[in-house]
């Protein structure tokens, strides 16, 4: 390495060159997530127009060449000459970082985008981009190649309408993945339509002859969102409680409903951004909800044994959306998904107290139903205090004693450790003998765990198999879950390839989704794929994992004597076979469990694992034709 370090070594990246040089700094990554982020940045500008009251329809089209069109009926990007740069404002917005209408606090009061960086970033990271603007009774256009204008902006016709149309093709020199996913984009558009009442988002896929199309429009906004979340659940009120409050530059919207089961489902947003880790808006709401319900508990004098309800009691079965819109949001937390504005807590708290108190006073029947549910929760908590203490006392989950059935690994660094959750003692015995003891732990479970969708936390914690898992993982459960204390960064569900194995896997997935969702969000949960068959011929053993692989391989063995074995259970494999096919990182196939769309996941678990029979029957009828392998 040369020791000569002078001014000549200092590089200045001009304009959009910095974005192309370090794209991850601006859009997070150059993988599939970064690719979709380009679309979000453009549509966020259209949503900002809607928030300012100037746009009600947005159309997004995926074209055959995988380019994207985003068109809105907003005011249109300004096209007049910028006083400082002496170039059209349209060109400035698309070629200068931190140029836009988000900084003067007049054009846009709130914004969900990258504050003037988004559109120019998309331009910089696109192979080509074309923009058309309808404004001032005329139409204007300009095109770019990798962020550089092809020519000056031109006027090309007249129009009585206003709006902006942007068409771009992501640069394959930048992105690892070039193809957009319809469902991923649709999830975000549905969310935006819920959060912005009255905005219609039309989404079309023109990549195939019979392409998909969806239209998202929810006049009820977040009330419709809560109703959507409660579709497959039994609610205790006629309709959700909703209120909206404006305080200085902060707009607060809250919609809540109570369901008959026990899971709490809360989604929080700041400027349309999903704050998965909560923050000050959620803290303010929780505090206010507990206070208001306790105030009414004192008025009603329900039960002398329950003088006060805890936060857990009042939120059991709560389904809610909190959306705040703020001029200068501050995000914190590991993934920047936590709202940090301190002033928001007090504003949400006072707005919630005021509006809930008024609602409860106007509807005593509703408050009675809510109080009865909260009191049932408190009674269950008091009746099963020992089980509840498992989530309260750290030493119960963080002590040195590990469950006896756990065969732990010798490695202690969590990022190097993996644990296999195995069905039954037979498979557990083979796995224990076949594993690499250095970094692989084995936890055999006896039978099927409790269906957590239908049980309170107290009952869940009295289930021995669930307690064993919590203790083995070492990170707690529910709101007490601490990812820093997780003992394994690969948690692998390994069940048999039969109906019972599938059911156990579904029960485990339900448990992780409801009580340890961060394990899924952080990419720590996997499903092992043991082979379906072994094919032995000519002193050679081959393993295949699907019926198609089996048929294809057997087709190459005409006239050869073979021995075909179908594995119904992991216990049928000896330790060496289990290591070779399912445990060995060099050979095994693992499926990572992802949660791209938590709202859809919420619905599916509620339908399949909940109490309501009719939604489950409808789901089975609607999806029966999609079943490929039916084990009868």
**Model confidence pLDDT, tens digit, residues 445-481:** 988 899 998 888 778 888 889 999 999 999 988 888 8
**What is d(CA 28, CA 36) in angstroms, rounded to the nearest whole number?**
11
Q: What is the pLDDT of residue 625?
A: 54
498 belongs to the catalytic site? yes
Q: Provide the CATH number for the domain formed by 397-530+591-595 in this structure.
A: 3.40.50.670
pLDDT score of 12 more than 50 = no
423 belongs to the catalytic site? yes
Across residues 145-165, what is the average pLDDT?
A: 94
> Quick one: fold of 222-383?
Ribosomal Protein S5; domain 2 (3.30.230)
Question: Could you give phi then psi for residue 415, rounded to 5 degrees?
Answer: -70, -10
| Pairing relationship of beta strands 490-494 and 525-528 according to DSSP bridges | parallel
Domain 17-216 -> CATH class? alpha beta
Q: What is the pLDDT of residue 17?
A: 82
Across residues 326-337, what is the average pLDDT?
A: 78
Across residues 430-445, what is the average pLDDT?
A: 94
Say what percent of the chain tops pLDDT 70.
Answer: 87
Annotated catalytic residue within 496, 580, 598, 602 = 496
**Model confidence pLDDT, tens digit, residues 551-575:** 888 888 877 888 898 887 888 888 9
Question: Could you give phi then psi for residue 171, rounded to 5 degrees?
Answer: -80, 120
Across residues 309-316, what is the average pLDDT?
A: 92
pLDDT score of 112 more than 80 = no
Across residues 30-36, what is the average pLDDT?
A: 91
**What is d(CA 240, CA 257) in angstroms, rounded to the nearest whole number?**
5
Rounded to two decimals, what is the model's pTM? 0.77
Please, what sign has the CA dihedral across residues 283, 288, 289, 295?
A: positive
- The full set of domain ranges for the chain reads 17-216, 222-383, 397-530+591-595
Residue 1: pLDDT band with limits 50, 70, 90:
very low
Residue 118 DSSP one-character state = H
248 belongs to the catalytic site? no
pLDDT score of 626 more than 60 = no
Q: What is the pLDDT of residue 388?
A: 45
Q: What is the pLDDT of residue 8?
A: 46
Annotated catalytic residue within 363, 411, 498, 596 = 498
Annotated catalytic residue within 17, 56, 343, 500 = 500
Contact of 452 with 511, CB cutoff 8 Å: yes
500 belongs to the catalytic site? yes
Where helices occur in 363-406 by DSSP H, the ranges are 364-383, 385-392, 394-398
Annotated catalytic residue within 205, 423, 465, 580 = 423
Contacts (Cβ under 8 Å, ≥6 apart) of 25: 19
DSSP string of 473-507? H-S-SGGG--GGG-S-SEEEEE--SSHHHHHHHHH
């Amino acid at each position: 390495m040369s020791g000569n370090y002078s001014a000549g070594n200092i590089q200045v990246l001009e304009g959009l060159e910095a974005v192309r040089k370090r794209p991850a700094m601006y859009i997070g990554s150059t993988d599939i997530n970064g690719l979709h982020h380009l679309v979000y940045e453009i549509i966020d500008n259209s949503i900002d127009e809607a928030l300012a009251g100037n746009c009600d329809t947005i159309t997004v089209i995926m074209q055959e060449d995988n380019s994207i069109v985003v068109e809105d009926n907003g005011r249109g990007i300004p096209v007049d000459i910028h006083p400082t740069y002496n170039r059209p404002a349209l060109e400035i917005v698309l070629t200068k970082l931190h140029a836009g209408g988000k900084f003067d606090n007049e054009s846009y009061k709130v914004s969900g985008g990258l504050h003037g960086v988004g559109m120019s970033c998309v331009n910089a990271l696109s192979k080509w981009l074309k923009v058309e603007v309808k404004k001032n009774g005329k139409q204007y256009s300009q095109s770019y190649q990798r962020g550089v204008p092809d020519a000056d902006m031109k006027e090309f016709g007249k129009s009585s309408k206003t709006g902006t149309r942007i068409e771009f093709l992501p640069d394959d020199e930048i992105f690892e993945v070039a193809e957009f996913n319809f469902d991923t984009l649709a999830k975000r558009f549905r969310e935006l339509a819920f959060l912005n009442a009255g905005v219609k988002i039309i989404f079309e896929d023109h990549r195939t002859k019979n392409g998909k199309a969806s239209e998202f429009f929810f006049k009820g906004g977040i009330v419709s969102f809560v109703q959507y979340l409660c579709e497959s659940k039994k609610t205790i009120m006629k309709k959700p409680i909703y209120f909206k409050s404006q305080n200085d530059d902060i707009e607060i919207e809250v919609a809540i409903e109570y369901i008959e089961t026990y899971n709490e489902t809360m989604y929080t947003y700041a400027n349309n951004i999903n704050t998965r880790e909560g923050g000050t808006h959620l803290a303010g709401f929780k505090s206010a909800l507990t206070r208001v319900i306790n105030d009414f508990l004192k008025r009603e004098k329900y039960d002398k044994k329950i003088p006060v309800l805890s936060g857990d009691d009042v939120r059991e079965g709560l389904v809610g959306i909190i959306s705040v819109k703020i001029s200068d949001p501050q995000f914190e937390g590991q993934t920047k998904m936590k709202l940090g504005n301190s002033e928001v807590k007090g504003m949400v708290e006072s707005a919630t107290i005021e509006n809930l108190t008024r609602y409860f006073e106007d509807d005593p029947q509703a408050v009675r139903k809510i109080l009865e549910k909260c009191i049932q929760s408190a009674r269950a908590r008091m009746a099963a205090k020992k089980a509840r203490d498992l989530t309260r006392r750290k030493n119960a989950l963080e002590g040195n004693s590990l469950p006896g059935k756990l065969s732990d690994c010798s490695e202690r660094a969590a990022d190097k450790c993996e644990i296999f959750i195995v069905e039954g003692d037979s498979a557990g015995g083979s796995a224990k003998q076949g594993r690499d003891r250095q970094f692989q732990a084995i936890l055999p479970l006896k039978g099927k765990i409790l269906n957590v969708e239908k049980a309170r936390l107290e009952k869940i914690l009295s289930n021995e198999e669930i307690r064993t898992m919590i203790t083995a993982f070492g990170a707690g459960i529910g709101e007490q879950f601490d990812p820093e204390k997780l003992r394994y960064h690969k948690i692998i569900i390994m069940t048999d390839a039969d109906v019972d194995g599938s059911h156990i896997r579904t029960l485990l997935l339900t448990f992780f989704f409801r009580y340890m969702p961060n394990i899924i969000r952080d990419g720590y949960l996997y499903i092992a794929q043991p082979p379906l068959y072994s094919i032995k011929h000519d002193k050679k053993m081959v393993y295949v994992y699907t019926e198609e692989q089996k048929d294809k391989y057997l087709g190459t063995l005409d006239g050869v004597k073979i021995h075909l074995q179908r594995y119904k259970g992991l216990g049928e494999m000896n330790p060496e076979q289990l290591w070779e096919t399912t445990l060995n990182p060099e050979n095994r196939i693992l499926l990572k469990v992802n949660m791209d769309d938590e709202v859809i996941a919420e619905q599916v678990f509620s339908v399949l694992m909940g109490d309501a029979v009719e939604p489950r029957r409808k789901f089975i009828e609607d999806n029966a034709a999609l079943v490929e392998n039916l084990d009868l």
